[in-house]
Amino acid sequence: MKKVLAMVLAGGRGERLYPLTRDRAKPAVPFGAIYRIIDFTLSNCLNSGIRRIYALTQYKSTSLHRHIQLGWNILSAPLGEFVEAVPAQQRIDEHWYQGTADAIFQNIYTLQVERPDLVLILSGDHIYKMDYRKMIAFHLEKEADLTVAAIRMDRRLSREFGVIEIDRDWHIIGFEEKPEEPRTIPGDPGGILASMGIYVFNTELLVRRLIEDVRSDSSHDFGKDIIPMMIGKDQLFAFDFRQGDFGGVGYWRDVGTIDAYYEANMDLISVTPQLNLYDPQWPILTYQPTSPPAKTVWIEEGRVGAALNSIISNGCIISGGNVKRSILSPKVTVHSFAEIQDSILLEGVDVGRNAKIKRTIIDKEVQIPPGMEIGYHLEEDAKRFTVTPSEIVVVPKGIRL
C-alpha cells in the first residue's frame, strides 16, 4: 500500500460568491443546510481511505479553521491519521501563495516530514463524490508521474477550465488553461476534457518540478505552468472522472457564482436529487453542534406552521409560518404568518411575523423584521442587497434591517 498524503487547497477567495464570501473563504461557505463546501472533499478522502489530510488555507481562514478543528478532529492521531488546517506560514516567502503550485511549494517542509509516496492534490471548492482510490490505482497501473482527473464538459465552456488533450491511451499530450479554441475529445467534437484540479503526483517528481518552477519566471500555477512544462518530459495521464464517480451520476459542481450556488442547493430538495446526501455507503461528514430537533407549531384557522418540499435542520422552529421549497440551516425561526418560498436561510436566521421571502439567500443570524418583503420588489431590493442575473437576492451577514 502506497503512502498517500492529501493536500487540499482551501484558500479560494470565491469572489463571485460575494457576499457569502465576505467573511469566509469559499471552502467555508455553507451548503446543503448543514455542510460547508469543503466537507465534500474531506468526506471523499475519508470514504476513499485517505486519512492524512492537510487543508492549506490563507484568506479569511478563521471560519474554516474553526470548522475543521471542531468538525474534523475525528481521526486517530496515534495511528498517524489527521485532518489539519495549515495557515499560510510564510516560512519561505513573505507573500500570500501566488498560485496553486506555490501553495504546495511553500509547504515543502510538511512534505519533507511526511515523506509520502504519492501526493493527492485537491481543491476545497468543489462539490462531488469521488473514490480517489480508483484514481490512485490508475496512476500506479499506468506508472504515471502525474495523473489529472478530467470530466467532460461542453466545448462552449472552455473559457472556464483547464482543457486537457489526450491520445487514445489517455496519455496527456496537451494542456491549455481557459482556451477560446479548445482541443475537443477525440470522436466528440462538442466536448472537452476539463481538469477538475485533482492531481496525483509522485512525491519526488512533484518536489523537483515545484523547485524548477519556483526558480523560473512563472505564475506558479499547476494548470498554467507546471503541467505544460511537464508535457513531453514526464508521464502524464488523464483519469476519467466517470471511473471514480461514486454514485455514477457525473455530479461535479464548482458553485462558483451565486446563481450556480442557488441551483445546486435547490437541486437537493427535488424528489431524487443528483447529489444523494442520504447514501450510507458514502456519508458526508460535517460539524454540527447539538441542537434540539426541528419542530412546527400552530394549526388553527389562518395560522399553520408548515414546511413543504423543504429541508429543515435541527433547532428550527416553524411557528405558524409557511415554508415552501426552501432550505433551512440549523436554528432558523419562522414566526406566524410569515411566508418563505424558494429560499435558502442559513443558520440562526429569524423571520418576523408577516414577513414574505421569495428566491432569497439569507446569510447567518440575520433578523428579518415583521412584515418585511424580500424578493418581491427587485428594484427596491437591489438598493440594499445583492441581486444576481437570475434575480436571486442575497441578504448579507451582519446587516441590520
Partner 1 sequence: MKKKILVVEDEESLRLLYEEELKSEGYEVLTAVNGREAIELLETGKPDLIILDIVMPVMDGMEALGRIVGKERKIPIILNTSYSGYRQDFMSWAADAYVTKSADLSELKKKIRELLEISEKSRNL
Q: What is the contact surface with partner 1 in residues (CB under 8 A)? A: 91-94, 106, 108-109, 111-112, 207-208, 211, 214-217
Phi, psi of 181 (to 5 degrees): -115, 85
- State the nearest-atom distance from the C-beta of 213 to partner 1, in Å: 10
23 vs 212, beta carbon nearer partner 1: 212
Task: Find the farthest-apart pair of alpha carbons in the chain and give their distance in angstroms, rounded.
Answer: 75
Beta carbon of residue 90, minimum distance to partner 1 (angstroms, whole number): 9
271 secondary structure, DSSP code: S
Strand order in the sheet with 311-312: 311-312, 327-328, 344-345, 360-362, 393-395, 386-387
The CA-based angle 58-63-67, given to 5 degrees, is 110
Sheet arrangement for strand 373-374:
306-308, 322-324, 339-341, 356-358, 373-374
Considering the complex, state which of residue 156 and residue 208 has its C-beta at the smaller distance from partner 1. Answer: 208
Residue 355: name the closest of 336, 333, 370 by CA.
370
Residue 168 neighbours by CB under 8 Å, 6+ apart: 186
* Residue number, 89 or 291, with CB nearest to partner 1: 89
Mark 22-47 as b/e (b = at least 16 C-beta within 10 Å): eebbbbbbbbbbbbbbbbbbbbbbbb
State in angstroms the smallest separation of the CB of 215 from partner 1. 5
- The answer to whether the bond into 27 is cis (omega within 30° of 0) is no
Nearer to partner 1, 97 or 251 (CB): 97
Minimum distance of partner 1 from residue 242's CB (angstroms): 35
Q: Which is nearer to partner 1, 219 or 288 (CB)?
A: 219
Amino acid type, 108 = I
Cβ at position 95, least distance to partner 1 in Å: 8
Q: How many CB atoms lie within 10 A of CB 354?
A: 16
Element (H, E) at 323: strand 322-324
* Closest of 204, 226, 203, 199 to residue 213, by C-alpha: 226
In the complex, minimum distance from the CB of residue 89 to partner 1, in angstroms, rounded to a whole number: 11
Shortest separation between residue 123's beta carbon and partner 1, angstroms: 23
Residue 191: CB atoms within 10 A of its CB come to: 16
14 versus 116: smaller Cβ distance to partner 1: 116
Closer by beta carbon to partner 1, 168 or else 233? 233
Strand-strand pairing, 344-345 and 360-362: parallel
In the complex, minimum distance from the CB of residue 94 to partner 1, in angstroms, rounded to a whole number: 8
Minimum Å distance from CB 108 to partner 1? Answer: 5
Q: Which is nearer to partner 1, 209 or 359 (CB)?
A: 209
CB of 230 to partner 1, least distance (A): 16
Residue 240, all three cell numbers: 476519467
Closer to partner 1 by Cβ: residue 110 or 184:
110
How far is Cα 347 from Cα 329, in angstroms, rounded to an integer? Answer: 5
